[in-house]
Amino acid sequence: METVAVKKKPLSRRLKKGAPAYALAAPYFILFFTFTVLPVAASIVLSFTDFNMMEMPDFVGWKNYMRLLLNDDIFMIAVKNTFVFAVITGPLSYMMCLLFAWIINEFKGKLRALLTLVFYAPSISGNAFLVWSLILSGDRYGYLNGMLIKLGFLYEPVVWMKEEKYVLFFLIIVQLWLSLGTGFLTFIAGLQTVDRTLYEAGAIDGVKNRWQELWYITIPSMRPQLMFGAVMQITQSFAVADISIQLAGNPSVNYAGATVVTHLMDFGSQRYEMGYASAIATILFLTMIGTNRLVQKILRKVGG
């Protein structure tokens, strides 16, 4: 009601009245524009140019995009890998976040805090994922090889991260291990906010088991958190690069671990083809935003 009234005042009055608000918001937003908005705009503009950081950018129209889509076989592998990656780790990590948060919610006190910590810790422990290179190490000293040889499943150690057929699989495992982050915490918190009397009312109305309870009561009650969590998990699942570079190398064997972001980094920080790299960045940007928007739309309809 109040906002309607405010909007009827002339713009100059509202601008003047907003002065303290602008002053409060300005320091943050100046930096936000400089380091987030401007770079996105720059990426889009540069994607239509040839630019090597030394000379002025040359406008080339859709050339970079044509080359990406028609002439860059590695980009196609990277897109395929990223897609497989996102389609598997995105939904799976999202379900894991919800499932584990939901089970943890059955516990109380210290045990609950401990379980939260166990699942959340990998995502915050810096480059702790490097320990996976010990597990997946290609010689006999690797934990996985050592174990499988001891159990008689293997005679020779397998160089896991140098065999095309295993690379993506293990990267997915490591990514899932790392993926119970902000979204997971949001669900832990969201589950606490569900009104308990709803469960009692639900039981009277014929909710018979925990799955019905989850679907008809819990999920609809925490939809705002579910939507926020989805944004966190989706963005993360498209951005995979670090673990691929560290565990599989860049370039990885036959590009089995190449993702859109590793491809972007290859052109951006190795070959200095900034226009081309910007086109990759722009495609990535549009894909991430598009997927997020789509999933938000779907989530609004989910659950009773």
Partner 1 sequence: MAATKRVKKRKAKQLNRSVAGNTVLFVIMAFCAVFMALPLVMIVNNSLKPLDEILRYPPKILVENPSLDNFSDLFVLMKTSWVPFSRFILNTFIITGLGTTGHVILASAAAYALAKLEFPGKNVLFQMVVLSLMFSAAVTAIPNYMIVSWLGINDTYAAVILPALASSLGLYLMKQFIEQIPDSLIESCRLDGAGEFRIFWTLIMPNVKPAWLTLAIFQFQALWGNTGSTFIRSEQLKPLQYALGQIVQGGVSRAGAGAAVQFIIAAIPILFFIISQSNIIETMTTSGMKD
**Considering only 8-16, 65-73, 158-166, 250-258, which stretch makes contact with partner 1 by CB under 8 A?**
8-16
Non-local (6+) Cβ contacts of 174 within 8 A are: 129, 132, 243, 247
> Which listed residue (1, 4, 21, 70) binds partner 1 by CB under 8 A?
21
CA distances from 141 to 61, 113, 127, 148 (A): 53, 35, 21, 11
User: Of 31 and 302, which has the nearer Cβ to partner 1?
Assistant: 31
Whether 168 contacts 88, CB under 8 Å: no
Q: Contact letters (x/-) for partner 1, 57-86, by CB under 8 A? A: ------------------------------
Strands 58-59 and 49-50: antiparallel
User: Of 141 and 164, which has the nearer Cβ to partner 1?
Assistant: 141
Q: Is position 170 an interface residue for partner 1 (rule: CB under 8 A)?
A: no
User: Of 120 and 255, which has the nearer Cβ to partner 1?
Assistant: 120
User: Of 164 and 274, which has the nearer Cβ to partner 1?
Assistant: 274
> Which listed residue (68, 78, 279, 288) binds partner 1 by CB under 8 A?
288
In the complex, minimum distance from the CB of residue 284 to partner 1, in angstroms, rounded to a whole number: 6
In the complex, minimum distance from the CB of residue 219 to partner 1, in angstroms, rounded to a whole number: 13
Which residue from 256, 282, 273 is spatially nearest to 69, judged by alpha carbons? 282
* Site residues (CB under 8 A) for partner 1, limited to 231-270: 231-232, 234-236, 238-239, 241, 261, 264-265, 268-269
Q: Contact letters (x/-) for partner 1, 198-237, by CB under 8 A? A: -xx--x---xxxx-xx--------xxxxxxx--xx-xxx-
User: Of 6 and 66, which has the nearer Cβ to partner 1?
Assistant: 6
In the complex, minimum distance from the CB of residue 298 to partner 1, in angstroms, rounded to a whole number: 14
> Which listed residue (67, 83, 163, 296) binds partner 1 by CB under 8 A?
296
> Which listed residue (18, 52, 74, 111) binds partner 1 by CB under 8 A?
18
**Considering only 66-74, 78-86, 143-151, 163-171, which stretch makes contact with partner 1 by CB under 8 A?**
143-151
DSSP string of 251-275?
SPGGGTT--HHHHHHIIIIIS--HH
> Which listed residue (66, 189, 294, 302) binds partner 1 by CB under 8 A?
189
> Which listed residue (8, 61, 127, 155) binds partner 1 by CB under 8 A?
127
In the complex, minimum distance from the CB of residue 119 to partner 1, in angstroms, rounded to a whole number: 5
